[in-house]
A and B are shown apart, each in its own frame.
Chain A
Amino acid sequence: MAIKASVGVNQGDDSYAVGANACQDAIEQLGDSSPDLLVVFSSVKYDQEKMLQGVRSVAPGALLVGSSTSGEITTQGPLREKSVAIMAIKSPEVKYFAGVGENIAANPREAGKVVADKVKRQVKEQAGETLKTFMMFPDVLAGNGADIVRGVLDSLGEHFPVVGGASGDDFAFKKTYQYVNDKVYSGAVVGLGLVGNFKMGIGVKHGWIPVGEPATVTKSAGSVIHEINGKPAIRIYEDYFGEEEAKVLRTETLAKLAITYPLGMKVVGSDELLIRDPITVDEHGSITCAAEIPEGSEIRLMVGSRNEAIQVARTAAKSALEQLGGSAPKAIIIFNCIARQKLFGDKSGDEIKAIQEIIGPQVPLIGFYTYGEQAPLGGEVKNIERCNSAFHNETVVICALAD
């Protein structure tokens, strides 16, 4: 029997009811009241615990993983109202195992290792098979996203397909949440392991373009860049943005102003520069990014273009489909950077429509706007020796599941 997937969505004021209705909607469309897996993406507008209770009241037997978001995406496109979106999946050929790694703030790498270890252990004990893919939802407001991915790879091996999206909080950059079954976490990373007879294709692209001359990171520690070209890191933004905007940079969350002007650095294995989003700036002008930029890196300021972003979304979708070896996609999960939502504004549906033109408009699709994406560089999953999973920013990651 093939993979069956469906997507349910709901909006409203009562968190419990919205969770229950979204799940009911997914189940009705699945045509099966006992899905194997629920992937839940929710706005932080809702009381997270009550929302999950509502979801669980409808499908108590399903394994549940999920995350808070900065905007939910479904088959109908990006949702303009704060919603709960749920994908229900059923297939006798696929098994799912979930885990959580807590306290990212104390040690992000350890949290990544813990969650992957937990999933790996369950796979070994309960399935007696090999873990094929690892999906994750980390909280990168709590710690360095690249370190979390590094921790996951410490456990699963250097070359392992990891895909996922960092939780959001409706662009507030204050507190995000992760879900496993009926529990709500914050400052944690949730992992989902997939085992069995299925195919997965991953596409990842950003399409941001470098402008201006290269600069060198002369002092950094983890995800904090202290100096660029020997000057406080924030100078790069002050220089490009001009005096008026520069004043605001220190009073508002840097991410709100600069997220569509990230920093890009060269990495091996990707034809595009790897992007790092600036999140906050301190009184010394040091910039904290969503993941690290190592000392000595050559960086460029990047700008986005809607046309280019749509083109690369199509390319990423094609790339994900190509990896399915001719099988039809049965479910699509999209991790789309919040910067892309800001870039497109009220035209954000154009990007999702472009993806659907490639994958087919009737394929169940769910996703969310993230604070960072995880995927192999260049989307490489077939040649495992060249599969280098990394933490990305500003990308659209398209994950396609097929029989």
Chain B
Amino acid sequence: MNEKKGTEKIAELEKLLKEQQQNARLLVRRDLELSRANEKLQEFDEIKSNFISVVAHQLRTPLSGIKWTLNMLLNGDLGPLNNDQKTFLIKSYESNNRMITLINDMLDTDRIQSGKMHYGFRYINIIDLLDNVLFEISPEATKRNISIEFKRKLENLPQVYIDPETMRAVFQNLLENAIKYTIEGGKIILDAEQVKNMLQISINDNGIGIPEDQKKKVFERFFRGRNAILRETDGSGLGLYIAKTIVEKNGGIIWFESKENNGTTFYFTVPIKIEDVKKN
């Protein structure tokens, strides 16, 4: 009787082992299928990236040529212009610039998504970088009579560990947005302070703000605020997506506080050089 039970048990175990082996085969085959599908997707992604890159570069070259020509016309290098001609040419010049910005944003987005954005981390003084960007964008602010001020004198700030090239794009995007969405005669206030082992930077404007129900979507690709569209301001809707990705890649976080018609403050953090972190 016991022998019979033993034989039955062995047969049962053998059956279980056989089933387990069959399951192992199925697992491996399913895993293989998924891996192959994933590889195919990566190949398609690479093709998409190459396509965007080729098209964008092909478009950028003639657009740059147009910009150069329009610039010459506007400067009067090819003869004097009457006021109407000037007005239309300025509109063409701005539209052309919008297209160039859009293409550059698309290229950046693609580089981010395909992992081809390079980050050369180093220790720098971030205020030098900010000053540099301010110098570039201040003519636009001056043109619209918008003042840019520091909340306090930024002295003795610790060095930060970031990639200056990509962080420049973050400053550019946030400051250009602040100028774009601030009414003429408005004010932008900048600040930086150490919070634990991070440097927190803020850019505050008294512009149109972000509608409450759209706040969740601000960092999504191609998002544009309802009030921004109504005001016919330019924008690809990619800038904040790019800024968020870059800040996070640099080891920080980005967020904002905003009230519609009452301004917006964007905050982001970057890591401080380890040796400079003050022990609290």
Contacts and interface: CB of A to CB of B under 8 A. Distances in A.
Interface string B35-47: 1001100100100
Contacts of B114: 80
B274 interface: yes
Interface string A75-91: 11101110000000000
B116 A76 contact: no
B28 A346 contact: no
B21 A345 contact: no
B65 interface: no
Contacts of A361: 161, 251, 271
A362 interface: yes
A213 B271 contact: no
B92 interface: no
Interface residues of B, number: 29
B120 interface: yes
Contacts of A245: 29, 32
B120 A346 contact: no
A242 interface: yes
A9 B120 contact: yes
Contacts of A211: 24, 27-28
B119 interface: yes
Nearest to A257: B32
A76 B248 CA distance: 12
A307 B178 CA distance: 41
B11 interface: no
Q: Is the interface of A mostly helix, strand, loop or mixed?
A: mixed
A25 B120 contact: yes
Contacts of A239: 25
B122 A29 contact: yes
Given A240-B29, A241-B29, A241-B32, A362 B120 contact: no
Contacts of A9: 118, 120
Contact of B45 (A77, A342, A346): A346
A85 to B, nearest CB: 11
Interface string B116-132: 10111110000000000
A214 to B, nearest CB: 11
Contacts of B119: 76-77
B28 A213 contact: no
Contacts of B118: 9, 11, 76, 79, 81
Contact of A80 (B27, B31, B116, B121): B116
Interface in B194-239: none
A212 B121 contact: no
Interface in B7-43: 17, 20-21, 24-25, 27-29, 31-32, 35, 38-39, 42
B116 A81 contact: yes
B115 interface: yes
A237 to B, nearest CB: 9
Contact of B28 (A76, A80, A241, A360): A241
B115 A80 contact: yes
A303 interface: yes
A303 B28 contact: yes
B274 A213 contact: no
Contacts of A222: none
B221 to A, nearest CB: 17
Nearest to B24: A212
B273 interface: yes
A84 to B, nearest CB: 13
Contacts of B116: 80-81
Nearest to A360: B274
Interface string A344-356: 0110010000000
B83 to A, nearest CB: 48
A242 to B, nearest CB: 5
B169 to A, nearest CB: 16
Contact of A242 (B29, B42, B251): B29
Given A76-B121, A241-B29, A346 B24 contact: no
A286 interface: no
Nearest to A328: B274
Contacts of A63: none
B277 to A, nearest CB: 10
B28 A240 contact: yes
A301 interface: yes
A346 B116 CA distance: 11
Contacts of A79: 118
13 contacts: A76-B118, A76-B119, A80-B114, A80-B116, A81-B116, A212-B21, A212-B24, A213-B17, A240-B28, A261-B28, A346-B45, A346-B115, A361-B161
Interface of B: 17, 20-21, 24-25, 27-29, 31-32, 35, 38-39, 42, 45, 114-116, 118-122, 161, 163, 251, 271, 273-274
